[in-house]
Every structure is written in structure tokens, then in C-alpha cells.
Chain A
């Protein structure tokens, strides 16, 4: 080729020269596996018997790869891979720090749990219309959003997961689903477009889209105005994604309409991507602007917790109770972001992981409860303690864990967050956390009391678990998820260590920046090259 005629060029100026270590490939494995298996599921669309087997194999492989990545990151620190070998900031970089790897791991668990549960819930029509391809694509989108180190690429993953979630949400096309999906689709699309506008401003201001590069340039930028505007726009867009008050109205309108497995995976993953993006943008990239926005974030956090808990109390439909509890949990996660201290962020990291598992488990639980009781209506359900005592045990564990009562995993992050609030004198934030926990206890224990304790309604025939198809696989899945919350509650030490490490990394973005730029000592010419 023409290269032979040219003078020798030092490719090391533009490319990562050494091949990535074998273990580093794990960072792209979830993407590759997810897309390949989604394509395979699409090809076997009409073979409704074989397609679930392929999908579960894909979900297991994704879980294994993210678990491997998590172990690798814990052992060796932040993992970076530059796409096309282009040196940062030119190529798209995938960066797995402890936060990204932890959330990816939990997403893998949530994805597999709901995939197994859906084996008995999604019927053949839904399989033919692409339940499993949508699930795999959405899961890949979520995991890649946690792992990407490029802000425009983050936008692309938001759209990937959004499209997957649209597909899952409207499977079945009932009236209430179409109604809920319309609101969900419009509000999420507007939020993503606002995110894109903020990305455009970032590009205009910094001339780069690589997160580490933006963080480097934002740190030395003198003018506060434009940077704060961008940070505020990101906060608005991601708060909408995370369903924080007052931008939460799409969530309770839509999450109760699809299958419970779909609600479970949505509640476990989607809003948390918004929380993750907020942590990444406001702590790694614009830490100075987080300080300026802290009061606004704290008010949004307290309002979300209280509105979510009060909303949950006002619902008669069990699924809609859970929709409001998701919002309440988002408020608690934002509290740590508002505080910004090591204790607070550690609490947020722990609570996010806890909430992903617990909200998924609660949706799956309500799926079994609804199927066994024959209704989701709190007025009519009843008598399940007699027919399904073990389900009652699981339900009580989950209710206690979600409310933050000992000895389950919800307790520790709330202690951290309350302590961090009191440390800075934000007693009202501590009070909101405790009060919302109290109201959540009432909402969930009331659900337990009506659905389980109350004698069966004579008009309704409540079934034993043997007669409920979703329970056969759903109950073992639920027991597994409960096991996680019990272990994290009784022996929290390793979990706290990981969340402390996440908090440390978030508070010291230098580590993140150095990890991305490790392949290349900083060259002024290369760093300036992207700016016109």
C-alpha cells in the first residue's frame, strides 16, 4: 500500500501499541455477548422452545463476564480499553472503575434473575415478538452505560437501553400499556435530548468528549458560569431519567403496566443508570459544580424520598406501591450525592446496589403474590400465609430490607447516610431519610398484612404455589436475591469496603483520569489537538 512510500511514522503517537491484557477484554465481553445472543434469539424468534435456552445461556455468560470484570477491577484497579487502539482522548475509551464494575455486576445478577423468572411468565406470543432480544439488548445497553468513558457514547447507550425498554414495555399492547408507554417514551426521549444538548455544550466548551479529558480541562477552567450551566443541564436531564421529584411522573404511570418481570428489570436497572450518570458527571467530571448544586440536589433528594413514600401509602394496586418506592429509593441515593462526603457517597454506592437487588426482588415477589391471590388489588388479596408460608417469609425479609430494618442490607447504607447528614448539620435530610424509611415500612408491611395475614377473601380463590406457574422458578430466584440481602446485612464488612473504595474513587477523580491516560504520558499537542 501507500504506506511503503511514506517516511516512517511513529504510530505510538496515536495508538496504544501493546495488546491489551487478556483479562482486560472482559470490559467489552458483556457488549459482545449481549449483542450476539440477542441476534441469535432474534434468529430463533419463532422457535419459542429453544429461544429461552439461548437467552438464559447469554444472560449467564454476561453475568460471568461482569463478575470476572468485577474481580479483575478489585484486584488490579481501574481497567481501560481504547476502541480501535486510538489513544485517549481520540478513540472511545471503555473505563471500568469500582463503581462501574460493581453496578455492572449487579445488573448481570438482575438480568439473569428476571430472565429466569420470565421463563414462566412471558408467553409464546411475547417470545415471538422479541422479549428476550429486547431484554439482552437493554441489559447490554445498561452495562455499557456503566462502563463507557466517553460522554457521547454514554448518550448512545442511553438510546440503546431506551429502545430495548420501549420494546419490553409495549409487549402485549393492552390499553393501559399503550397509555403508560406513551408517557414513558415521550418523557424519556425529552430527557435524552436534553442530555444530548448538554453534550453539545460540553463539546463546544472543552472540544473533547472523553470523560477523563473533560474532567482534566474542567478542573483548570476559570469561568464558573458555562461549566455550572452544563452541570445543571446534566442534573436536570439525569434527574428526569432517574425519576427524581419533580420529574418523576412517567415512572408510576408506566412501570406497573407491563409484565412483572419487565417491571422488575426496569425498577432494578433503568433509574439507576440515571443515578450512575449523575455520580459520574457531578463527581468525576464537574466536582466543583456539584458543590454549587449541593443544596438543590439535597432538596430534590428529600422531596423524592417523601413523595415516593407518601405516594406508596396512597396506592391500592401492589404494583403501583412499588413504583413509588422506586422513586423514594432514588431520593435516598441522591442524598449521598448532595452531601458529597466519603461517608455519604459510600452510603449512596451501597444503597444503589442494595436497591437494584431489592426492587427487582419486590417486583418479582408481587408477581407471584398477584398470580397466587388472583389480583393485585389490596382490597381483595388475602390468605396467602395459609397457602404459601415460605413466600410469606421471603416477603417479610424483602419488606424489612427495603425499609432499612436490621438485620438486612438496607440498614447499613441508611446508617451511613444519616451519619453523613448529621456530620454536616443537615438534620432535615437525616430526618427525611428516617421518616421515608418509616413510611416505607408502613407501606410494605401493610401490603404484607393484607395479602398474607388477612384471611382469604371468600369471593377470591387463592391458589397454592404449586398451582402458580411463575412460582416454580420465581421462588428459587427470590430466595437467591433474599440470600444476597441477608448476607450483606449480617456480614456487611466486604460490601462496605467496596462502597468505601467507590466513594474514595469518586472523591478523587485523579485516579480515573490517570488510569485513562496511563497508556500515554500527557502530550500538550495531542491534548490540544481536538480543539479548533
Chain B
């Protein structure tokens, strides 16, 4: 089971790196979303994947049954999903606004903050 999830995670990372190598902001955005999904899958797999035994403590016991699934990665993944989602929402709006203002989603053409062909600093007065 871990091997299958690991292969899937690797696929996610490969797709995300491919997308992030693009010049176009919207593809980079999709790449980062894929990257954070890959990260979440990594956390999930790192908690070891066990089947069948739910991590619920039976009545009258103080410990979960042997071989119970690890519940902690789910808490971590949930936190990471919430954060990644809010950042995705912010980035989506940011990308849309900068497309409206700058008129391009090509990172080569986004040179407002660092204009091309700036003169040298003064060499003397």
C-alpha cells in the first residue's frame, strides 16, 4: 500500500515540477497546488498506512487496539490542506489581479518591479 501511495506521490511531484517550469503564471499556480497535494500525500504515507482497524478506543479500554491506524497524520494533513487551500485562494486572486493590471501572465513579460534596461547608477558628480 505504501509503495502505491509513494508512486502516486512521485507522479504528483513530477507533474508539479513540470508545470512550475512553465513561463505562464497560471501553470505555475497549478504546479504549486499539485506540489502541496503531493506534500499532503507524503505526510499521509509517512504515518504508515494500515487497514481494517479504526483508531477508536473501545469502551472500558485506555489504549486503541493493536494495529490501529495512525490518526495523527490525518490531523497534520487536515491542517496542511486548510492552509494550502487558503493560500491557493489568495494566489488565485493575486494572479487574476496581476493579469488584469499587467495584461500578461508570461513571467518573461512581467518586468514592472524590475524594469529591463535600467541605466547604471551614477558614476560621479
Contacts and interface: CB of A to CB of B under 8 A. Distances in A.
Interface of A: 9, 152, 155-156, 159, 162-163, 166, 170, 173, 175-183, 185-186, 189-190, 193, 196-197, 199-201, 203-204, 252-254, 256-257, 313-316, 378-379, 446, 449-450, 454, 530, 532
B122 A197 contact: no
Interface in B1-28: 20, 25, 28
B56 interface: no
Nearest to A252: B114
A218 to B, nearest CB: 16
B114 to A, nearest CB: 6
Contacts of A316: 118-122
Given A182-B25, A315-B121, A170 B20 contact: no
Contacts of A314: 120-121
A382 to B, nearest CB: 8
Interface of B: 20, 25, 28-29, 32, 35-36, 38-39, 42-43, 45-48, 50, 62, 70, 72-73, 76, 79-80, 83-84, 86-87, 90-91, 94-95, 97-98, 101-102, 107, 110-114, 118-122, 125
Contact of B102 (A156, A175, A189, A315): A175
Contacts of A175: 101-102, 112
B121 A179 contact: no
B28 A186 contact: yes
Contacts of A156: 79, 83
B113 A180 contact: yes
Nearest to A443: B121
A98 B43 CA distance: 32
A199 to B, nearest CB: 8
A239 to B, nearest CB: 18
Residue of B28, B62, B113 with highest tally of chain A CB at under 10 A: B113
B90 A179 contact: no
5 contacts: A155-B80, A176-B113, A197-B38, A379-B119, A532-B48
Contacts of B113: 176-177, 179-180, 183, 253-254, 256-257
Contact of A159 (B87, B118, B125): B87
Nearest to B50: A532
A252 B114 CA distance: 8
Contacts of A530: 72
A442 to B, nearest CB: 11
A254 B97 CA distance: 16
A446 B121 CA distance: 10
A189 B80 CA distance: 12
B90 A163 contact: yes
A159 B83 contact: yes
Nearest to B63: A529
A193 B36 contact: yes
Nearest to A167: B90
Contact of A201 (B25, B46, B48): B46
Contacts of B79: 152, 156
B76 to A, nearest CB: 6
A199 B25 CA distance: 27
A480 to B, nearest CB: 30
Given A175-B102, A176-B113, A454-B125, A203 B94 contact: no
Contacts of B46: 200-201, 203-204
A176 B47 CA distance: 43
A201 B118 contact: no
A258 to B, nearest CB: 11
Nearest to A255: B113
B122 A378 contact: yes
Contacts of B91: 185-186, 189
Given A182-B98, A314-B120, A189 B43 contact: no
B122 A200 contact: no
Nearest to B98: A178
Residue of A200, A256, A378 with highest tally of chain B CB at under 10 A: A200
Contacts of B97: 173, 178
A186 B105 CA distance: 14
A190 B35 contact: yes
A171 to B, nearest CB: 13
B32 A186 contact: yes
Contacts of B84: 193
A159 B36 CA distance: 13
A166 B90 contact: yes
A199 B94 CA distance: 28
B94 A181 contact: yes
A104 to B, nearest CB: 23
A379 B124 CA distance: 10
Nearest to B37: A193
Residue of A183, A193, A379 with highest tally of chain B CB at under 10 A: A193
Nearest to B121: A316
Given A196-B39, A449-B125, 14 more contacts: A152-B76, A179-B102, A179-B113, A182-B94, A182-B98, A186-B25, A186-B28, A196-B36, A197-B39, A200-B39, A203-B73, A204-B46, A253-B114, A257-B113
